[in-house]
Amino acid sequence: MISEKAEEIINYHEATKHHFEQYARSPGYMDWQNQPNPFRSYTEVPVLRLPLLKADPPAAYRGLYERQDNLPQPIILETLAGFLELSLGLSAWKAVSGSRWSLRINPSSGNLHPTEAHLILPPMASHPGGVYHYNALGHLLERRAEIHSDIWQRIVSHFGTDGFLIAINSIFWRESWKYGERAFRYCNHDAGHALACLSFAANLYGWKCVFLNELSDEEIEAILGFEQIRFRKLEEEHTDCICFIYPRGTADTPRGLPDPIIADLANLAFKGEAEILSQKCIDWEIIYQTARLAKKPSTAKTRVELQNRNWLVDASSPLSAAEIVRNRRSAIAFDDSGFITGSQFFSMLDKTLPRRDIAPFDVELTEPLTHLLLFVHNVDDLTPGLYFFVRKNADLSEIKGISRSDYQWAPVETNFPLYLLAEGNYRQQAMMVSCHQDIAGSSAFSLGMIAKFRDVVTADPHRYRHLFWETGMIGQVLYLEAEAHGLRGTGIGCFFDDAVHEIMGFSDNRYQSLYHFTVGKPIEDPRLTTYPPYNHLPNHKSVP
């Protein structure tokens, strides 16, 4: 028996599919007058300006993923500022013929940036502990509430280690302004990308980031003081999740907060007003309805058991981990004659497999629920064609059983879950299913992320969102891996859902394609000028 909640969420998913003959409902034009501000400030609160990094953390490429060589740094203002700069800060300004826009370390569909971050920080030399909002444009923290040191001491004793909390939230209107009803999906993709960004940046400081899976959304919104804010209607922040970040070494930290601490945080005296983002908002009702149904209740602590697994390829990169993070960009066009090597391809896929104590999947969001349907165009020593990468072996026989019977399922490598389904030139099909976007057909490979869907949403409706977060995290790994190998990737949120399922031969919703991605040799747009990320701030010098 499927619950009404799950059924309605699945209905939202169906209603927001793009079809060849009809796209999901959206405004259909850009209402520039009402474009939401991609940066939020909380006004009338004390502001803490963060120093910019004078030098990046020294981790090499491997240190993106592995933690053992990244010395745990003390949690002080400078390291916290560096962590924010390298996770959710700006990465550049771009300009062309009179218009100028910023880019960030975390990507976002349409560059609309629905994700906001709030931190619960310990007292430090220069400032009291408190609940702070991160303002990425000013690279500053806005103190919305002060925490007395005794509350903080109880938080430390609860976790058994120093650390801090960071929550990410979505403002749906920022995405629905352009994308209408499908925007809830994009906000959740973006949250997944942001979650991976937090994990990678924490790693560079020798810290570990874990997802606090016990807390309900209501509890998180209470401790962030959202019950005490009068958000402008439709400009509310809806919480995605909260993570605890701590120096590595502590084996099994709690995944929740005790009720008395939740109550004390919720009762803090919160100050400040969330600045209005646009003149007028449109109520895409189905988004708010689905968000209500997909709210997370409080749940028992779960641990995701991850395996130790050697890397398939001993890959390296001339870039440091921080350079990779800073240089990440979305490709806007690819050289369709550009080949990538087999070892680059295998290294990228391999990094999407979760491993114990390896970022970003050791945040322990979920056991793997998502697999990759690959359209391979230009990979040395690999026959062009359709491939399938199985991120959780237990799903293999079910997927085979519901797929087209003429697919080969021929293993490509020993001890690597990659299978050839069919040889052939899939450029046209890849492009066509990704809303006719050239970038899916002219790259070295593109892919659809195929998630276990019906059973997951039926069992736990709130995990509809986790499916998208997982795909966003995989996307972030692919973005960084592409950059590390001198290539470039792009997330693709626009695709014809059922056309992808037809390629697989799926006839029901046991598995659904939730996100696409493409990787190849990029062609730069020479018309664009690039400026450093913080040259708009007086007296701020970025890492050269």
Query: Which position among 278, 437, 512, 542 is part of the footprint of ligand FMN (CB under 6 A)?
Result: 437
Q: Which residue has tokens 């976002």?
A: 108
Nearest to 66 by CA among 204, 163, 164: 204
| Nearer residue to ligand FMN within complex by CB, 403 or 490 | 490
Residues 319-358 that bind ligand FMN (CB under 6 A): 329-330
Query: Which position among 172, 186, 453, 534 is part of the footprint of ligand FMN (CB under 6 A)?
Result: 186
| Nearer residue to ligand FMN within complex by CB, 256 or 491 | 491
- Cross-strand bridge partners of residue 411: 419
Minimum distance from residue 470 beta carbon to ligand FMN (Å): 13
Query: Which position among 11, 34, 41, 111 is part of the footprint of ligand FMN (CB under 6 A)?
Result: 111
Q: Is 499 in the site for ligand FMN (CB under 6 A)?
A: no
Residue ranges with strand state E in 309-430: 370-376, 385-389, 410-413, 416-423
Residues 253-312 that bind ligand FMN (CB under 6 A): none
Query: Which position among 63, 360, 417, 491 is part of the footprint of ligand FMN (CB under 6 A)?
Result: 491
Contact window for ligand FMN (CB under 6 A) among 59-67, 72-80, 131-139, 489-497: 489-497
Q: Is 109 in the site for ligand FMN (CB under 6 A)?
A: yes
Minimum distance from residue 371 beta carbon to ligand FMN (Å): 18
| Nearer residue to ligand FMN within complex by CB, 5 or 189 | 189
Q: Is 38 in the site for ligand FMN (CB under 6 A)?
A: no
The token pair that represents 141 in the structure block: 């923290």
Minimum distance from residue 375 beta carbon to ligand FMN (Å): 15
Minimum distance from residue 249 beta carbon to ligand FMN (Å): 33
Contact by Cβ (8 Å): 19, 496: yes
Query: Which position among 494, 500, 503, 514 is part of the footprint of ligand FMN (CB under 6 A)?
Result: 494
Q: What DSSP string runs through 463-521?
A: HHHHHHHHHHHHHHHHHHHHHHTT-EEEEE----HHHHHHHHT--SSSEEEEEEEEEE-
Minimum distance from residue 187 beta carbon to ligand FMN (Å): 9
3-state secondary structure of 356: coil
- Cross-strand bridge partners of residue 512: 451
DSSP state of 300: -
The span from the CA of 219 to the CA of 275, in Å, is 24
The token pair that represents 201 in the structure block: 């940046």
Is the peptide bond preceding residue 368 cis, with omega within 30 degrees of 0? no
| Nearer residue to ligand FMN within complex by CB, 329 or 465 | 329
Query: Which position among 103, 210, 447, 456 is part of the footprint of ligand FMN (CB under 6 A)?
Result: 103
User: The sheet that has 90-96: what strands, in order across it?
Assistant: 99-104, 90-96, 529-531
Q: Is 190 in the site for ligand FMN (CB under 6 A)?
A: yes
Taking the CA atoms of 191, 212, 217 and 294 in sequence, report the sign of the dihedral they define.
positive
Q: Is 189 in the site for ligand FMN (CB under 6 A)?
A: yes
The token pair that represents 173 in the structure block: 């209107």
The token pair that represents 315 in the structure block: 């890959």
Minimum distance from residue 459 beta carbon to ligand FMN (Å): 25
Catalog residues that contact ligand FMN under the rule CB under 6 A.
103, 107-111, 186, 189-190, 193, 329-330, 437, 439, 490-494
